[in-house]
Amino acid sequence: MKAEYIEKIYAGWLAKIIGIRLGAPVENWTYEKIKNIYGELYHYPVDYKEFAADDDSNGPLFFLRALEDGRHGFDLKAQDVAEALLNYAPFEHGFFWWGGYGISTEHTAYLNLQNGIEAPRSGSLEQNGSTIAEQIGGQIFIDTWGLVTPGNPDRAAKFAREAASVTHDGNAVYGGIFVAVCISWAFVEKNICRIIEKGLSYIPEDCEYAKVVRAVMAYHEEHPENWRDCFHFIYDHYGYDRYAGICHIIPNIAVMILALLYGEGDFDNTLCICNMCGWDTDCNVGNVATIMGVRGGLEGIDYDKWRKPINDFLACSSVMGSMNITDIPYGAVYIARLAFALAGETMPEPWKQIAEQRMESCHFEFPGSTHAMRIDIGNYGEQGEKRESVIFNTTESAYTGEHSLKFIAKPVEAGEPIYLYKKTYYRPQDFYDSRYDPSFSPLIYPGQKLHGSAMLPEYGEGGVACLYVKDVRSGRIYEGTEEVLKKGVWKELEFSIPPLEGALLGEMGFRFRTQDVYTKASGFTAMIDDMYVDGIPNYSILFDQENEEIWTDLHHEISQFSRLKGLLYLEGGEMHLSSSDFGEAYTGYYGWKDYRATFCFTPLLGENHRVNVRVQGAIRSYAFGLLSGDRVAILKNDHGYRIMQETEYCWLIGKEYKVMITVVGNRITAEIDGHILTVVDEERPFLTGAIGVSVQDGSHSKYREIRISGT
């Protein structure tokens, strides 16, 4: 593994997000509609406030976790990816398109899996028929299997075959293999035709997928001048009218090959030509962009045009709310860490330390990266006066590594605050729309410690700095100790966030001000580096302070919770959860290790009421439950709940119970009314995870308060 591949992984993943954002506003438009409305379209069609989640990024990021979560390690099997799908996708909402059984390929396969039909049968032609099995999804979620195998097309093909077969079969699996191999080979080959030929070498020569790729290549060779002529050839011979289903893979791979060939190696031309062809634009442009991003690297991607509007931010819509607020550098480091592990090699510094100790930190080591940081001057917040300011990645100086983030703000009044921050919680008003129904839990919590480093350049104004967080519920800002910054010297800052009742921390960052409180600064500049969070939270969720977040008429959420399934609502200052079969909802941070969770809840109806800890998704957690037959138990959900320890306890409907669960290493201890249960999990224990609530067998519970603290 070459160290340079790490940056190429970032370039490929960044390009994927660029391609999705470029294609999303015209998704499912025809070539004619795009041409009539836009003519030539060489820019983002929509200036999104924030671009909400998309299935084309959800799938690649979360299915890749099968390499770590799965039961076969790096010898990946289809069922490992199937369990990643079941674990991270909410039940029939969010994540991807839930168009109905026998209509949506992914929905069909998901329900097959839920009902015990394992992969690869879950996506097979025999189970679902060719119309469902050969839709486009076989290749649109596949990019990370190429990114995680740089220059190793054999492994890329194997992984892609297993992953695509969970939901698809036939030409759709061939498409997944083809795209993954092209991405893998783009790390070592720049010639577009040779990249395409490499992809073709891994699928049958006589399959329809290979035939259409070669047909477009042959047309281009004879008519290399005008891509629109080639599109009309594709439309006439491989158009949507010739294939059954909602979004067949064959027409879409045809326009992808067109774009790769007629784009002539130029990033902008390739993506925009692909987009102007229409059909499944976000999927097609996303796949093509990943190939081009790896092939050309960051230098081939225009910063102001493509990168700046994204600002490294990525929203997701998995069932784990804290995993849904992420940035592109995190995804790249996660992929790179797996890539080096697959190769049996150690990552070079500083990447090794970042990957092992602070993967979610704002480290700025990728050229141009910003980690979704923002800046405000003066009167704080959205009502504050906006003045001239800019943030950008720099190699001028760094606390660790080679890169940091620099900002310039002007003018700045004497002693006026400058906030450089990252949003740690998002609400509906932050987004342009509700694509794929995201929901969020915060990235930072009271009781934890915020770290970051700051420096003033020798040529700048004098100043002071501190770290801060903002409670978006009350609007209150909590600040650490203000430190005088010595010019040219990095200062490491720390802030222990106080324990808080009912707070919702939505921002973390740095607060700067000029040191001279009497002199107006024409411009103020500073640098920051290595912002991260650690420590055990100490806070409470008070449900009389939570609120319903309304995205659309059909998409409602409870603040800081994500819902797997069931009816979740607020009433009388408490949160209710009920379901006809099972219901679950989660909050907190997925990376918490050892902690104590105390739940105050009341069973209202039914015989199965649970509270959960170490939640890693829908099929990975521990729980304490009030069960039928006057029993209480500690349970483990490992693709299905099973009792680990139980005892007799006469519990009553309508009575509030206080349950305290402590998790330390692989030991789980639960206490209710002086009754203590303890288990030590020796079989694939879950050592990190969030918290949650759950019911089963049509039960109904309500929850008044949850408290999280150290052990």
DSSP state of 25: G
Provide the 10 A C-beta neighbour count for residue 382: 7
Mean pLDDT along residues 581-587: 98
Distance CA 7, CA 332 (A): 8
**Which has more pLDDT, 79 or 382?**
79
What tokens appear for 669 in the block? 């201890």
CB of 96 within 8 A of CB of 318?
no
Q: At what angle do helices 281-296 and 4-23 cross, to 10 degrees?
A: 160
How distant, in Å, are the alpha carbons of 44, 236, 253, 443 from that of 258? 20, 14, 9, 42
Residue 703 pLDDT > 90, yes or no? yes
How distant, in Å, are the alpha carbons of 27, 125, 134, 360 from that of 238? 19, 21, 14, 44
In the beta sheet, which residues pair with residue 532?
451
CB of 258 within 8 A of CB of 277?
yes
Token look-up 């660029």 returns: 18
Distance CA 469, CA 465 (A): 13
CB of 134 within 8 A of CB of 168?
yes
CB of 41 within 8 A of CB of 276?
yes
Ordered structural domains, the chain, with CATH: 4-315 (1.10.4080.10), 361-535 (2.60.120.260), 540-709 (2.60.120.560)
Provide the 10 A C-beta neighbour count for residue 344: 8
Residue 384 pLDDT > 50, yes or no? no
CA angle (669 as vertex; 605, 675 as ends), nearest 5: 60
Q: Pick from 598, 573, 587: which is nearest to 425 by CA?
A: 587
Residue 379: pLDDT band (50, 70, 90) is low
Mean pLDDT along residues 83-112: 97
Residues in CB range of 451: below 8 A, 6 or more apart: 467, 492, 493, 494, 530, 531, 532, 533, 534
Distance CA 23, CA 38 (A): 13
Residue 382 pLDDT > 50, yes or no? no
Q: Residue 95: left (phi > 0), alpha (psi -120 to 50), or beta?
A: left
Provide the 10 A C-beta neighbour count for residue 67: 22
CA 708 to chain centre: 25
Token look-up 């093509």 returns: 288
% pLDDT > 90, the chain: 94
Name the residue type at position 407. Answer: F
Concatenated DSSP letters for 412-428?
B-TT--EEEEEE----G
CB of 567 within 8 A of CB of 578?
yes
pLDDT for the residue numbered 603? 98
Distance CA 200, CA 195 (A): 9
Residue 383 pLDDT > 50, yes or no? no
Residue 399: pLDDT band (50, 70, 90) is very high
% pLDDT > 70, the chain: 98
Mean pLDDT along residues 474-480: 96
Residue 161 pLDDT > 90, yes or no? yes
CB of 196 within 8 A of CB of 221?
no
